[in-house]
Structure 1
Amino acid sequence: MAGFITGKFLFGILAFLTIQFGTCLSKMLEENLRISAFNLRMFGDARAENTDVVEILAKIIRRYDISILQEIRDKDGSAFKLLMNEVNGNTDEYASDLSQRLGTSHIKEEYAVIYRKDTVRLDDTYQYPDPDYDYFERPPFSVKVHLKTADELDEMAIIAIHTKPTEAVEEIDKLVDVSKNTSDHWNGLKNILIAGDLNAGCSYVTTKEMKIISLRKDKRYSWLIGDDVDTTTSGSDCAYDRFVASGDQLKAAIVPGSAREFKFEEEYNLSEKQMKEVSDHYPIELEIRGRVNRRELAKFDSKLSMSFQDNTIHNREDVMRILNSDDFVQYGFDVSIDVNIGTEKKHITAFMDNMTKDQVLSIMHSINLSSDLIRESVCELVILHLNSPLMSGIPGGHGFLIEYDMRYAFEVSCEEDGYHRCSFKLTRGIVTIGSFA
């Protein structure tokens, strides 16, 4: 197949047509939606007086379409109002809702949701019923939201939680019941994200204890922030803050690799002192795939190809073997020769479409046995290419898995013009665009 390929070769991938820029982007793809959970560290009147802190908090919140905030200690609501004014500036872009003030001590806390109104609609809120604080120090607060610009995920619930550190194991274990209760409250809603400071690490939840927690053992729930992630800005190294997702649609809609901590001090060039003044926690974040206009997407046809260019000079007999032998013809290749009368330049081509991977490998092996045109090093290279995970599909910029057709187009072409140079090309087409599960 490519025995004439020796010495130097050009190994290239012709990238698929990008749809991430310009007017094509606006027609085909909505931006991904971002969701965060953030412990604001005792946010009340005193901290609201620090204008630098409020400004940074507002910048962080404006990164997201939905922010789930914890540890708001604001008796009269003035501190949170000041924060919302900073978030909106001169606009009315964001809206918010608050839980009731919760806690067994004189220090009460509220959960808050802040959301971008042009991408999210808040449909309902729900306070988990634990009036006597039998199960939680701060009973979970849930919101049901409609995602206006998400792809194939219209609505979901988010359960905000901030566990009591010394009771973290018991409170996290109870969250399976909270999730079921929330689902039942909203008529069987399946797509639910648990978000917040679970204190799910270090001494509060040990590795041994994590293994027995129902929320961890139940396969319906996916933990999206790893145990090795540090979600604190202090000297500790603990994965306190977590996302836990349930529901097939929600899991499929989350952009792979997007769940992480947001290190705001790097983004905003803050000193360590400034960072710790903002919070002792990092916000955690994830992305939901934006809506795809599949009618527009269907207009595009893209290819992924790999080409090998050989600069070795072949003799005439080697090149003409393409025409004169049965190496290609017996397999049904379309073999042709074009001659330029004025220069007597010949262009020889062997082409076949709709080939399977096994057919490609079989033909390459057969040609290698019957002629000197293919060499062992080239065989190894092509086999490596055909078996590469890249050829099964590659992640696109919108969180998609771009899958490729299982069929190949195979072409060998040579020029005979006193010198004889040949090239080989194997091409696979994009046929579907689907999401990661």
Structure 2
Amino acid sequence: MCGLVAPLLILLVGGTEAFRICAFNAHRLTLAKVTKDSVMDTLVQILARCDIMVLQEVVDSSQNTVPFLLQKLKRSDKTKILNFYQYNDTDDIFAREPFVAQFTLPSKVLPSVVLVPLHTTPKDVEKELNALYHVFLDVSQRWQNENVILLGDFNADCASLSKKRLNSLLLRTNAGFHWVIPDGEDTTVRASTNCTYDRIVMHGQGCQRLLKAAATFDFPKRFQLTEEEALRISDHYPVEVELSQATQGIPPQCLAILLLSLLQSQLD
């Protein structure tokens, strides 16, 4: 492991018609960065539109960045986190060991789902993504739940991973895994790059039955930012899935955002 992984579970109030799960590499998110008005206002809007957010590249030894964001996002504690653990990487394959969480959803079809975030290191993308399959096996057996969403900055394109190597991954060759952010979808902000680094991979019939849409969120276009302005926030777009929402004892306005902040000493 080349960095420290610090998981933070945070519940917030949302209000979307569908249940939206997102992953966002916020590119070296520090307290100094988020306290800039031009960054904070847009970042809060990006986070608030998601019901579950996996936030990556939070770099903060003081651990004040996320609490600061919470003040702006107005948290709520009405959704139950069922289980969580950090994967035991005995072979030291991952630069950042996945932090796994299971939580309730407001759905009769799918009452709970597991998130497995990962931010790979570019030099070991293939090795880490193949190891991610074994994380899936571990969590599905541990919690007897095959409704699993793997997501984050996989670095799964361009110079980091060729198309041939991508298609030979265990998460590609084994049945049941659906890469819902399609190959060729640009998840980068810079006009000079066109790479599908950020991914969401879904497994389980419950997930598939509820899936409404999957896409990147082009925040520069939505908020009318220039490339320079957008890059102050991140060089990645968030990626997201929308799930149909059928209430199951959880008020529709009490939606959760899960921030899994990955704090590391070595960044891409």
Number of residues paired by the alignment? 232
Q: Report the counterpart of residue 122 of structure 2 in structure 1.
A: 165
Contact preservation (8 Å) 1:55, 1:86: no
Q: Equivalences for 1:182-197 in 2 at 5 Å?
A: 182-186=139-143, 188-197=144-153
User: Are 1:202 and 2:154 matched, yes or no?
Assistant: no
Greater relative CO, 1 or 2 (CA 8 Å, sep 6+): 2
Q: Equivalences for 1:273-312 in 2 at 5 Å?
A: 273-291=228-246
Shift in Å at residue 49 of structure 1? 2.9
Shift in Å at residue 51 of structure 1? 2.3
Q: Report the counterpart of residue 187 of structure 2 in structure 1.
A: 231
Q: Report the counterpart of residue 64 of structure 2 in structure 1.
A: 78
Q: Report the counterpart of residue 266 of structure 1 in structure 2.
A: 221
Shift in Å at residue 53 of structure 1? 0.7
1:84 and 1:216 mapped to 2: Cα distance? 37
Match for residue 40 of structure 1 among 19, 23, 26: 26
| Structure 2 counterpart SS, 1:35 | strand
1:227 and 1:43 mapped to 2: Cα distance? 27
Q: Report the counterpart of residue 134 of structure 1 in structure 2.
A: 92
Query: Deviations for 1:353-372, whole angstroms, at most 9, x for unmatched residues?
Result: xxxxxxxxxxxxxxxxxxxx
Q: Which amino acid in the other structure matches residue 97 of structure 2?
A: P
Q: Equivalences for 1:357-436 in 2 at 5 Å?
A: none
| Structure 2 counterpart SS, 1:143 | strand
RMSD of aligned alpha carbons: 1.7
Q: Would the alpha carbon gap of residues 74 and 292 (structure 1) be closer, same or farther in structure 2, given more than 3 Å must change?
A: closer
Structure 1 gaps, min length 5: 1-29, 96-116, 294-437
Percent identity, aligned pairs only, is: 31
Q: Which amino acid in the other structure matches residue 202 of structure 1?
A: C
Shift in Å at residue 31 of structure 1? 2.5
Contact preservation (8 Å) 1:151, 1:289: no
Match for residue 146 of structure 1 among 104, 121, 125: 104
Task: Write out the 4+ residue segments of structure 1 that deviate beyond 6 Å after TM superposition.
Answer: none
Contact preservation (8 Å) 1:44, 1:80: no
Bigger proportion of residues as strand? 1
Q: Equivalences for 1:324-339 in 2 at 5 Å?
A: none
2:83 and 2:233 mapped to 1: Cα distance? 30
Shift in Å at residue 46 of structure 1? 2.6
Contact preservation (8 Å) 1:39, 1:70: yes
Structure 2 gaps, min length 5: 1-15, 249-268
